[in-house]
């Protein structure tokens, strides 16, 4: 049994990680800020845990340190467009506060970053520290890369886990909270975006929540063996960006968005403008994230992230009422 403190425990990843840790017999302390409910991806409250209120922007996260074996640091500011000072307060200074707590608690440190600290990198992206001189496409990426540097310089036994774009369960498509990328599906399904920009070879790396949570638990249970490692928690295969529009087009009651090259795209309104402002750099690149280090360390392989999975994600969004229902 491990004693594990999970920050960001009310979030999508943190909640599912807490549920899986408890199921494996570990003693879990769940750090929340405002929302006291810790729920797994199935939406059920996680029981058998200790919920504490804290704030990663405060020294020691506002807690009196309790002995822990591992701190899993999931808490993060996820808004690409947030002011730099806000992102730094949570993703960099907040990471330092979590490290200081882990040191006082005698814990190893498992840091949840993002695969997209690769910035504008294309081609094969290795499971190594972010190269000096990397050009980031938004302030969020830059803040997460800076957070990794804080972890690496901490002197604690650490591992860095880098999920890509986290979506629904591999088998069912279920997701407790729809992340920002799902708004792209929503805009196309509602006919607000009828022309979708995508470079010919551009890909998204989309990963099911169950693979991410299973990998984080597996790394937490192997912290002595994986110390100092960087691990990509990514899809089995990258998905062509154009496949997002194709997935919408396969639903009978949705429109059929036309795919155009980014240089030929003219936004159709403020919502489409916001979509391009947020995701524009991701519509033109083809990073391919190596995950051999994760597979060697844990034996885990991501389930297929293919067209059938995308169809399950869209079907779940319709069933939940997030995407438009068929006309009566």
Residue where the block lists tokens 């063996």: 225
Helix (H, G, I), strand (E, B) or coil at 154: coil
Per the prediction, the chain carries an average pLDDT of 96
For the cut 90, the answer to whether the pLDDT of residue 267 exceeds it is no
The DSSP code for 199 is: -
pLDDT digits (tens, 9 = 90+) for 146-163: 999 999 999 999 999 999
CA distances from 87 to 79, 136, 146 (A): 8, 14, 10
Report in angstroms the alpha-carbon separations of 285 from 120, 241, 292: 7, 9, 22
Report pTM. 0.96
Residue 68 to residue 149: CA distance in whole angstroms: 23
Q: What is the pLDDT of residues 58-83, one digit of tens each?
A: 999 999 999 999 999 999 999 998 99
Residues 164 and 206: their CA atoms lie apart, in Å, by 6
Identify the band that residue 328 occupies on the pLDDT scale cut at 50, 70 and 90: confident
Q: What is the DSSP string of 253-319?
A: TS--PEEE-GGG----SHHHHHHHHHHGGGGS--EEE--HHHHHHH---PPP-SHHHHHHHHHHHHH
Digit-coded pLDDT (tens) for 193-237: 999 999 999 999 999 999 999 999 999 999 999 999 999 999 999
Distance of alpha carbon 184 from alpha carbon 309, whole angstroms: 17
Strands (E) across the chain are located at 3-7, 27-32, 50-53, 70-73, 108-112, 123-125, 158-163, 165-167, 195-197, 203-204, 206-208, 230-233, 239-240, 258-260, 287-289
Give me the pLDDT at residue 286, please.
95
In the three-class reduction of DSSP (H, G, I as helix; E, B as strand; rest coil), residue 136 is classed as coil
């Amino acid at each position: 049994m491990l004693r594990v403190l999970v920050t960001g425990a009310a979030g999508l990843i943190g909640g599912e990680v807490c549920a899986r840790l408890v199921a494996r017999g570990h003693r879990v302390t769940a750090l929340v800020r405002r929302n006291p409910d810790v729920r797994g991806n199935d939406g059920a409250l996680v029981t058998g845990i200790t919920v504490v209120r804290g704030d990663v922007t405060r020294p020691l996260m506002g807690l009196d340190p309790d002995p822990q074996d591992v701190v899993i640091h999931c808490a993060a500011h996820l808004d690409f467009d947030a002011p730099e000072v806000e992102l730094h307060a949570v993703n960099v200074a907040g990471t330092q506060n979590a490290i200081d707590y882990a040191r006082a608690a005698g814990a190893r440190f498992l840091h949840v970053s993002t695969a997209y600290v690769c910035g504008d990198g294309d081609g094969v992206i290795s499971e190594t520290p972010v190269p000096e001189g990397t050009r980031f496409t938004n302030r969020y990426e830059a803040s997460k890369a800076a957070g990794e540097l804080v972890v690496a310089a901490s002197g604690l036994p650490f591992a860095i886990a880098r999920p890509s774009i986290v979506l629904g369960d591999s088998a069912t498509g279920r997701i407790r909270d729809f992340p920002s990328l799902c708004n792209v599906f929503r805009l196309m399904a509602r006919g607000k975006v009828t022309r979708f920009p995508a470079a010919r070879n551009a890909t998204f790396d989309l990963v099911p929540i169950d693979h991410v949570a299973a990998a984080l638990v597996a790394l937490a249970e192997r912290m002595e063996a994986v110390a100092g490692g960087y691990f990509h928690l990514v899809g089995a295969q990258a998905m062509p960006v154009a496949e997002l529009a194709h997935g919408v087009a396969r639903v009978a009651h949705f429109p059929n968005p036309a795919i155009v090259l980014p240089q030929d795209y003219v936004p159709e309104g403020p919502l489409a403008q916001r979509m391009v402002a947020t995701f524009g750099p991701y519509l033109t690149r083809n990073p391919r994230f190596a995950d051999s280090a994760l597979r060697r360390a844990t034996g885990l392989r991501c389930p297929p992230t293919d067209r059938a999975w995308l169809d399950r994600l869209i079907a779940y969004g319709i069933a939940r009422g997030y995407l438009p229902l068929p006309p009566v």
